Amino acid sequence: MKFLLLKILIIPSFVYSASYIDYQSPFHPVVGTKGMVVSQNYMSSDIGIEILNKGGNAVDAAVAVGFSLAITLPRAGNLGGGGFMMVYIAEKDEIYFIDYRSKSPLNASIHKIFDLDPSLKLKPENFKNEMFDTTRYGYKAPAIPGTVAGLLDAHSNFGKLPLKDVLAPVIKQAKEGILVTYDLHMAIKDTFQLKDDPESSKIFFKDNQAIAENSILKRPDLAKTISLISQNGKNGFYQGEVAKLIIDAMVANDGLFTIEDLQSYKASFKQPIVSIYRNHKVFAAAPPSGGGITLLTALNILDNYSLSKLKSNSAYTYHLLAESIRRGHNNRSHFVGDPDYYNVPVDQLLSKKRTLELAKSISIKKVSNSRAVKPLELIKESRDTTHFSIVDIDGNAVSNTYTLGYSFGSGVTIPGTGVLMNNQMNNFAYRYGDEKERGRSASTGNRFEPGKKPMSTMTPVMIFNENNELSLITGSPGGSLIPAAILRVITGVIDFDLNIGEATMLPRIHKDWPTPGILHERTISTDVLKGLRTIGHKITPEHTMGSTQSINIIDGVNYGYADLRRPNASVAIQAN
C-alpha cells in the first residue's frame, strides 16, 4: 500500500490536469444546474437570466427574451410577426403548444392582394412571379401579427412575475439602445426593403447609409409600445393607441388590415404532435406547422434503420438523412395548413402504414427519383427566423420559434410604434389548382383564404428520454431547412451519443421534394461528397443551414449550446 501511495505522489502534476484541458471536442457545451437561456443574441440571453434571478420562471424569461430580440435581433425577433411556443410545466408534468402564427386579414382577397381588376377571372397558372412582390414587401405583405398575443397568453397562464417586472429590463434596453454589431450593420445594409420604407429608413439608416457598426441604436418608439403593453396587456397592442397607429398606416398605404382583424386575433392552445424515436418521445409543433410533420416523418422512417452502426459522418448516414427528410417534405407539401380551415390528416401522415410506404421507397445504395415519393392518397420560404430555448431551476422549460418571414419582414415599420411588420402573406399556396405544379405552391391544405394562417416550417421541439424525463430542448430558423437542421442535432445526440456541441456542429444537408439534389454545408468532407455522388445524388454547396439553440439535460445537469453558424448567439446561465 505504501508503494502504491509513493507512486501516486511522484506522478507529474500535468497528468492530473490533463482531463480538464484535453477535451474530446472543441465544441464545448455550457454547463449549469440552475436556469439556462440559449438564444441568438447574447444581450437577450442575459435579460432572460435577469428575469430568472428575479424569481421568474422559464415562461417569464421567454416573454422577456421574445420582446428583447425585437431590439437586439430586429431582422427576426419581433412584435410584428408570429410563431410557435412549446411549454413544459414540471410540477404538472404537462406540455403545451401555443400557436400564435400570423393570419391573413379578413378583408383580404387575391384581387386585393395582387392589385387586380375585381372582375378579372383568375387562373393560378397565369400568375407571374413578379406579381408576388406585393406579398413580399410593403403594406400588403403583412399578415395579422400574433407574437404579442402568444407571448402574453403564455405569461398569463404560466408566468410567476407581474408583466411589468418582466418587461421592465426590455423597455430599458429599447430606451438606452444597443451597440450595433458588424452582423447587424451588414444585415441592415443588405436589406433593400428597409430603405424603401420611410419609417424603417429613419430608424436603421443615417445619411442614407446603414447605421454604423459600434454606434448606438436606440428604439424610443418601440420602448413606448412595449410600455403600453406592460401596462395594458394585449389591449396595449391590439386596441388603443398602437392599434390606431397600425390601422392609420394601413389606410394611408393601401394595406389590408382593419381594426376588426386586430381586435379579433387570438392565439391558440393545442396539443403538440408526437412520435417515438429510439424510445424517446419527440414533441413537435402541430399544424399549421409543416415543420413538425416533416421532422417526425423523417424520424419515423429513420427508426427503421440502425444509424448507430454507421459513422455520424459517413456517406450512407447522409444518404439516409437526405432520403428521409425528402419524404418528410413530401408529407407536408400537400395536406398541411391551418386546421381551422382544413382537416389536416396528421394521424395518417405519421401512421405506421404511411411510414412503411415511404421507407420501402428508399434504396440504401441508390438515390430515389422524386416521382417515387408519392403523396399520401386522400379523398419558397425565408430563413430569417429565430429560436430560443429556456429551462429554469424547477425544470420548467420553453422552446420557442418565431419569425417576421424575410429578414426584416416586409420592411415596413408602423410610424410611431417601432414595430416591424412581417411578410407572411407570401407563405400561402396561391397556385392552388394549377395542375402543372407539383410542389407546395399548389398545396391543397395551404391555399389562400381570408382569416387563415399560412403553413410554416417552424417547429420548436422537446424530447423526453426512456424515463420520461425532459432531455432535449431545441429548434432553429432556416425556412424549409429547419427540419433537416433539427434532425441532424437529434440524431447526433440520440444515435451517435455526441454532446450537444458536437451534434450542433455536425455538417448539415437538406433535400426537398420535388426539387432534385442535396444542398450541403461546405464543412462536409470531400469523401462524403464523393460517396453521395456515387450513390447518385446531385450535390450543391450552400451557405450555413439553420442556427439551433439547444439545451441537453442529462442527470439533472443542463448542457447548453448556441450554434456558431450565426454570430452573437449565446448561452447564459444562473450562477451555481
State residue 157's pLDDT score.
98
Q: Please tell me the number of Cα atoms within 13 Å of 214 on its side-chain side.
A: 0
19 grid coordinates: 482531463
Length of the chain: 576
Is 2 a residue whose pLDDT tops 60? no
CA nearest 420: which of 191, 260, 235, 209?
191
The pTM of the full predicted model, rounded to 2 decimals, is 0.92
State residue 435's pLDDT score.
64
Q: Please tell me the number of Cα atoms within 13 Å of 406 on its side-chain side.
A: 24
CA dihedral over 49, 54, 55, 60, signed as positive or negative: negative
pLDDT category, 22, cuts 50, 70, 90?
low
Is 124 a residue whose pLDDT tops 60? yes
Q: Identify whether the C-beta of residue 39 lies closer than 8 Å to the C-beta of residue 570.
A: yes
pLDDT category, 514, cuts 50, 70, 90?
confident
69-94 pLDDT, tens digit each? 999 999 999 999 999 999 999 999 99
Distances (CA, A) of 84 to 35, 51, 149, 153, 467: 22, 21, 11, 12, 26
- Specify the residue for cell string 442535432: 489
State residue 548's pLDDT score.
97
- Hey, which residues are catalytic here? 385
334 grid coordinates: 400537400
State residue 379's pLDDT score.
34
| Pairing of the two strands 518-521 and 539-542 | parallel
pLDDT category, 114, cuts 50, 70, 90?
confident
Average pLDDT over residues 99-118: 91
Average pLDDT over residues 154-177: 98
251-309 pLDDT, tens digit each? 999 999 999 999 999 999 999 999 999 999 999 999 999 999 999 999 999 999 999 99
382-420 pLDDT, tens digit each? 567 999 999 999 999 999 999 999 999 999 999 999 999
Q: Identify whether the C-beta of residue 104 lies closer than 8 Å to the C-beta of residue 449.
A: yes
Q: What is the mean pLDDT of the chain?
A: 91
570 or 434: which carries more pLDDT confidence? 570
Give the C-alpha separation, 193 to 409, whole Å. 9
Write down all domains in the chain, each with its CATH number in brackets: 41-267+393-442 (no CATH), 270-382+456-573 (3.60.20.40)
480 or 34: which carries more pLDDT confidence? 34
Is 376 a residue whose pLDDT tops 70? no
546-562 pLDDT, tens digit each? 999 999 999 999 999 99
Number of other CB atoms surrounding residue 91 within 10 Å = 8
Is 133 a residue whose pLDDT tops 90? no
State residue 128's pLDDT score.
72
State residue 381's pLDDT score.
52
Give the C-alpha separation, 204 to 472, whole Å. 37
- Could you list the beta-strand ranges (E) of 70-181: 82-89, 94-100, 178-179
pLDDT category, 19, cuts 50, 70, 90?
low
- State the distance between the two ends of the chain, measured CA to CA, in whole angstroms: 38
Provide the percentage of residues in the chain whose pLDDT is more than 70: 92
Give the C-alpha separation, 286 to 336, whole Å. 10
Average pLDDT over residues 103-122: 87
539 grid coordinates: 450535390
Task: Specify the range with the lowest mean pLDDT, choosing from 48-52, 165-169, 326-330, 389-393.
Answer: 326-330
pLDDT category, 438, cuts 50, 70, 90?
low
